[in-house]
């Protein structure tokens, strides 16, 4: 029990070291490093004595923090050169990730064999991530008023991808029980099928999330890092852990998590938030219910079997289709209304793409077949991607 408290305390202290480094709180930063270091040393000693399987993990966390401390000295010697500062924070972030892995390892029995690289990639839900990255990139182009510097764009997309991947891995952990009973679509997922243990997925998700915060906080700005972290926590804790199993309005409220990437992109480009960022957030927020309810109509029986109160399960197909049409009309009307701020190319795209969206929703309202639901679901993916591409192109032409 004491060892578990120690490894958790070391992970928490190391995480605060990263946060204060990103915030440039120098005195507090070094004070916390003085707390984290002896805890990590103690963990290595105790592991070598009583928990041999954790020696490598605790030693790695200690070694990485020592590297970060050495780079802290290099920061002072270089006169706070930006690239040295970034290396210092990044090293501390990797040490934080290693400390988290050590902490999670202390709460389980014998370690399971590592899964395949393909399974770890599946944990990040790359198809969902790709759409989130497009909306984040759109927010970045809108915020910058054109094409941002390549290095800033790449590091922001990397940090956002890490945040999305970390959240998705944690989602696999929390949803493993319902994934196992929702049919072939989810039964074969890595955690639900047993190919990746919940502990391994937890470690992986926490590590990616911690690394995301460090990358964005050190190489972009703290606001961007905080927004990505908030989106991560909202998706994992508020939506997955609570809303999804508690209310048929789960995706309405929980959709806020998927609407965060445009805010991340905008904040990365400007260091702040403004009305255009809010418009992009609300576009994704309003898009999420009709998109997700179209999917829910197709797999209603799977949700019912898992006891998940999705709208089609609780209110029926006809009411779900009515809600889809209402949300689609509100979504399209909103996307056109904000064209004043987002530009002419975007506005034309909003009108053309939106008209098709409403027509497909109306057809679904009249014909509740799987074919209609599938058509709307697939079109909604293309709709959002193309709308944000148009939003990104507009400032390039002005």
pLDDT digits (tens, 9 = 90+) for 269-324: 999 999 999 999 999 999 999 999 999 999 988 888 888 889 999 999 999 999 99
Q: Which residue has the tokens 């999305």?
A: 164
Would you state the structure tokens that stand for residue 269, as one six-digit string?
A: 């480009």
Would you state the structure tokens that stand for residue 251, as one six-digit string?
A: 């995706």
The pLDDT, as a whole number, for residue 108 is 63
Full-prediction pTM beyond 0.85? no
Q: For the residues 380-387, what does the mean pLDDT come to?
A: 96
Identify the band that residue 219 occupies on the pLDDT scale cut at 50, 70 and 90.
confident
The pLDDT, as a whole number, for residue 325 is 96
Q: Which of 250 and 98 is assigned the larger pLDDT?
A: 250
Q: For the residues 165-186, what does the mean pLDDT come to?
A: 87
| Cα 395–chain centre separation | 27
CB atoms within 10 A of CB 113: 6
Closest alpha carbon to 140 in 232, 234, 227: 227
Q: Which of 14 and 304 is assigned the larger pLDDT?
A: 304
Q: What is the pLDDT of residues 250-262, one digit of tens each?
A: 888 888 889 999 9
Q: How far is it, in rounded angstroms, from Cα 266 to Cα 258?
A: 15
Q: Which of 26 and 170 is assigned the larger pLDDT?
A: 170
Q: Report yes or no: 264 and 213 within 8 Å, Cβ to Cβ.
A: no
The pLDDT, as a whole number, for residue 52 is 72
CB atoms within 10 A of CB 53: 12
Q: What is the pLDDT of residues 189-204, one digit of tens each?
A: 888 888 888 877 877 8
Q: For the residues 108-133, what does the mean pLDDT come to?
A: 81
How many CA within 13 A on the CB side of residue 74?
Answer: 16
Q: Report yes or no: 214 and 93 within 8 Å, Cβ to Cβ.
A: yes
pLDDT at 385 over 70: yes
The pLDDT, as a whole number, for residue 205 is 85
Q: Which of 148 and 179 is assigned the larger pLDDT?
A: 148
pLDDT at 2 over 60: no
The superfamily CATH assigns to domain 112-397 is UbiA prenyltransferase (1.10.357.140)
Q: What is the pLDDT of residues 325-367, one digit of tens each?
A: 999 999 999 999 999 888 999 999 999 999 999 999 999 999 9
Q: Report yes or no: 284 and 135 within 8 Å, Cβ to Cβ.
A: yes
Residue-averaged pLDDT of the chain: 85
Q: Report yes or no: 140 and 150 within 8 Å, Cβ to Cβ.
A: no
Identify the band that residue 74 occupies on the pLDDT scale cut at 50, 70 and 90.
confident
Identify the band that residue 50 occupies on the pLDDT scale cut at 50, 70 and 90.
low
Q: For the residues 74-103, what does the mean pLDDT come to?
A: 73
Flag the least confident range among 137-146, 149-158, 212-221, 373-382. 212-221
Q: Per-domain residue ranges for the chain?
A: 1-111, 112-397
Q: Which residue has the tokens 């399209």?
A: 332
Mutual angle of helices 222-233 and 150-174, in 10-degree steps: 20
Q: For the residues 374-392, what does the mean pLDDT come to?
A: 96
Its sign, for the CA torsion 120, 378, 240, 96, is positive
Q: How far is it, in rounded angstroms, from Cα 311 to Cα 303?
A: 10
pLDDT at 170 over 80: yes
pLDDT at 109 over 60: no
Q: Which residue has the tokens 């509100």?
A: 330
How many CA within 13 A on the CB side of residue 236?
Answer: 22
pLDDT at 39 over 80: no
pLDDT at 110 over 60: no
Q: Which residues contact 57 (CB under 8 A, 6 or more apart)?
A: 47, 98, 101, 102, 105
């Amino acid at each position: 029990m004491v060892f578990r408290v120690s490894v958790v305390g070391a992970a928490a202290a190391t995480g605060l070291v990263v946060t204060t480094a990103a915030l440039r709180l120098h005195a507090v930063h070094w004070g916390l490093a003085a707390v984290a270091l002896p805890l990590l040393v103690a963990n290595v000693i105790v592991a070598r004595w009583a928990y041999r399987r954790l020696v490598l993990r605790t030693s790695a966390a200690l070694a990485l923090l020592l590297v970060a401390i050495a780079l802290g000295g290099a920061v002072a010697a270089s006169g706070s050169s930006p690239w040295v500062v970034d290396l210092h924070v990044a090293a501390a972030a990797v040490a934080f990730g290693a400390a988290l892995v050590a902490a999670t390892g202390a709460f389980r029995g014998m370690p399971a064999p590592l899964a395949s690289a393909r399974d770890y990639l599946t944990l990040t839900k790359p198809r969902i991530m790709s759409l989130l990255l497009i909306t984040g990139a759109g927010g970045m182009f809108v915020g910058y008023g054109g094409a941002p510097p390549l290095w800033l764009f790449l590091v922001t997309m990397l940090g956002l991808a890490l945040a999305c991947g970390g959240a998705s891995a944690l989602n696999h952990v929390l949803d493993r029980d319902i994934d196992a009973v929702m049919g072939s679509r989810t039964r074969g997922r890595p955690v639900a099928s047993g190919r990746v243990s919940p502990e391994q997925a937890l470690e992986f998700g926490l590590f990616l999330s911690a690394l995301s915060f460090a990358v964005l906080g050190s190489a972009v700005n703290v606001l961007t890092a905080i927004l990505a972290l908030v989106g991560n926590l909202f998706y994992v804790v508020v939506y997955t852990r609570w809303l999804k199993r508690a209310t048929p309005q789960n995706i309405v409220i929980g959709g806020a998590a998927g609407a965060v990437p445009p805010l991340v992109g905008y904040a990365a480009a400007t260091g702040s938030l403004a009305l255009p960022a809010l418009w992009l957030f609300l576009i994704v927020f309003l898009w999420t219910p009709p998109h997700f309810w179209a999917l829910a109509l197709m797999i209603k029986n799977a949700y019912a079997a898992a006891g998940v109160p999705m709208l089609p399960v609780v209110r029926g197909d006809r009411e779900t289709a009515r809600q889809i049409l209402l949300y689609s009309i509100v979504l399209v009307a909103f996307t056109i209304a904000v064209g004043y701020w987002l530009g002419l190319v975007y506005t034309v795209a909003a009108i053309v793409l939106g008209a098709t969206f409403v027509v497909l929703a109306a057809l679904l309202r009249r014909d509740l077949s799987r074919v209609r639901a599938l058509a709307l679901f697939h079109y909604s993916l293309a709709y959002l991607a193309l709308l944000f591409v148009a939003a990104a192109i507009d400032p390039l032409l002005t």
